[in-house]
């Protein structure tokens, strides 16, 4: 959430002024989404968020069961939470310039909401069911894309908002931008809903059905959360298991990304699920070691403040980042924003305001929960 709210600290904008600097271009790559295949730091924000949602489910279920809530009550709560997340995502996707509701479900909140009830039910069954579901989801989803026909001679690329340059070579063509099974599904499904104009394609290549393989990411989090909650192993042993799992996921994701399907975050391909999951586990292991073994809780306090109100900072960044920037400029910071390092100062200032709001809520013990 801190990475997201930082907007990359304006580093990509700074890199534009240094086109000949290798270092600046590498920094820009890491704070930007890759155009299609591959992975940068910025691409790991969403899988990290979704993985942590999965980790939280066993903890949430345990707390609610201890409070006497039964299966029906837990399921109803999960369903209501899912509906709220999807509707909130639709609201955030509808901009001030839009004349009506924009029915699109690629926002991370919608993706979590669409898979949340399935996540809750499978997590209640146990980690074995979660592992089985992950394997089934990734296998079936891969095959569904694989069997989708590739564009033939004379195909009208413009009619689907694509071009022949979007078509990946060979087997990987089934995972081309705008030319895949999930993109065709959206051209049918989203046009069943009220739209200001017929839906043709998502310019970024994202699709509604990304939530299906993203469910595998959340289930991986649920397995991890269950392990951390129930395992009798020492913190050191848990770190060892987590880093071993990370290595396996990174290896499998890389191999599958070479031989079966490309690593594409915008389609949440099976190889992306495993590859990104490996990196998320690496980060989780580091912070678990830092807190549980090194005992450096004070170092992560800035992260805790945000983590306790992750939905709040996400919504505030989406709705109010521009307004905060305008107010800061009006009240004496316009000259700083105009400096050579202005983009960094601007984004850091907005992040500071959002963090201070989270700190105030934290001290008031006020947490936005769904």
Domain termination residue (choose one: 230, 248, 265): 230
- Please report whether residue 12 resides in a domain: no
Quote the pTM value.
Answer: 0.92
Output DSSP code: residue 309. T
Domain hosting residue 318, numbered range: 298-370
Digit-coded pLDDT (tens) for 166-177: 999 999 999 999
Answer yes or no: is 308 within a domain. Answer: yes
In a domain, 33, yes or no: no
**Do 359 and 212 reside in the same domain of the chain?**
no
The whole-number pLDDT of residue 168 equals 96
Are 209 and 73 in a shared domain? yes
Residue 121 belongs to a domain: yes
* Residues 87, 116 contacting (CB under 8 angstroms): no
Does residue 29 fall inside a structural domain?
no
pLDDT the model gives residue 48: 96
Structure tokens at 242: 């987590």
247: confidence class by pLDDT, cuts 50, 70, 90 = very high
- My answer on whether 225 and 359 are in the same domain is no
Q: What is the pLDDT of the chain when averaged over all its residues? A: 93
Question: Are residues 64 and 70 in contact, defined by beta-carbon separation less than 8 angstroms?
Answer: no
| Boundary (domain end) residue, out of 230, 249, 269 | 230
- Pair 224, 303 in one domain: no
Task: Give 73's pLDDT tier (boundaries 50, 70, 90).
Answer: confident
82 and 211 both lie in a single domain: yes
Separation of alpha carbons 102 and 95, rounded Å = 8
Same domain, 131 and 218: yes
Residues 193 and 69 placed together within one structural domain of the fold: yes
In this structure, the answer to whether residues 105 and 209 fall within a common structural domain is yes
**Which of 6-20, 124-138, 194-208, 267-281 is least confident?**
6-20
Residue pLDDT, tens place only, 111-162:
999 999 999 999 988 899 999 999 999 999 999 999 999 999 999 999 999 9
pLDDT at 70: 82
Co-location of 208 and 307 in the same domain: no
**Which of 180, 210, 230 corresponds to the end of one domain?**
230
Tell me, yes or no, whether 1 lies in a domain: no
Q: Are residues 221 and 306 in the same domain?
A: no
325 or 95: which leads in pLDDT = 325
pLDDT at 369 over 80: no
Residue 370 has pLDDT above 80, yes or no: no
Report if residue 283 sits inside a domain. no
Q: Are residues 110 and 223 in the same domain?
A: yes
- At residue 269, the 3 state secondary structure works out as coil
Please count the CA atoms within 13 angstroms of the CA of 308 that sit on its side-chain side.
17
Sign of the torsion formed by the C-alpha atoms of 201, 185, 129 and 270: negative
**Domain count along the chain:** 2
- Identify whether 81 is part of a domain: yes
The answer on 321 and 218 residing in a single domain is no
């Amino acid at each position: 959430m801190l990475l997201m709210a930082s907007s990359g600290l304006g580093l990509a904008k700074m890199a534009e002024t240094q086109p000949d600097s290798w270092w600046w271009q590498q920094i820009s790559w890491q704070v930007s989404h890759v155009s299609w295949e591959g992975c940068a730091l910025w691409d790991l924000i969403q899988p990290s968020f979704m993985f942590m949602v999965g980790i939280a489910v066993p903890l949430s279920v345990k707390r609610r069961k201890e409070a006497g809530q039964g299966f029906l009550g837990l399921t109803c709560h999960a369903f209501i939470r899912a509906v709220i997340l999807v509707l909130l995502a639709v609201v955030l996707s509808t901009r001030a310039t839009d004349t009506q509701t924009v029915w699109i479900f690629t926002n991370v909140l919608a993706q979590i909401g669409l898979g949340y009830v399935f996540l809750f039910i499978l997590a209640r069954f146990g980690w074995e069911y979660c592992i089985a579901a992950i394997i089934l989801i990734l296998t079936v989803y891969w095959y569904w894309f694989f069997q989708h026909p590739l564009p033939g001679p004379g195909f009208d690329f413009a009619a689907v908002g694509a071009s022949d340059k979007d078509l990946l070579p060979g087997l990987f063509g089934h995972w081309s931008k705008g030319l895949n099974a999930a993109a065709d599904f959206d051209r049918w499904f989203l046009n069943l809903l009220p739209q200001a104009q017929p839906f043709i394609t998502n310019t970024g290549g994202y699709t509604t059905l990304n939530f299906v393989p993203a469910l595998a990411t959340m289930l991986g989090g649920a397995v991890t959360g269950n392990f951390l909650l129930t395992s009798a192993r020492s913190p050191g042993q848990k770190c060892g298991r987590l880093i071993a799992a990370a290595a396996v996921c990174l290896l499998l994701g890389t191999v599958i990304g070479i031989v079966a399907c490309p690593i594409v975050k915008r389609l949440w391909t099976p190889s992306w699920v495993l590859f990104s999951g490996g990196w998320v586990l690496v980060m989780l292991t580091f912070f678990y070691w830092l807190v549980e073994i090194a005992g450096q809780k004070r170092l992560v306090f800035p992260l805790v403040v945000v983590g306790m109100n992750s939905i709040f900072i996400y919504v505030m960044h989406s709705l109010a980042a521009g307004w905060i920037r305008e107010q800061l400029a009006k009240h004496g910071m316009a000259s700083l924003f105009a400096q050579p390092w202005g983009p960094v100062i601007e984004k850091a200032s907005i992040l500071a305001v959002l963090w201070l709001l989270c700190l105030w809520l934290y001290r008031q013990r006020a947490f936005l929960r769904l």
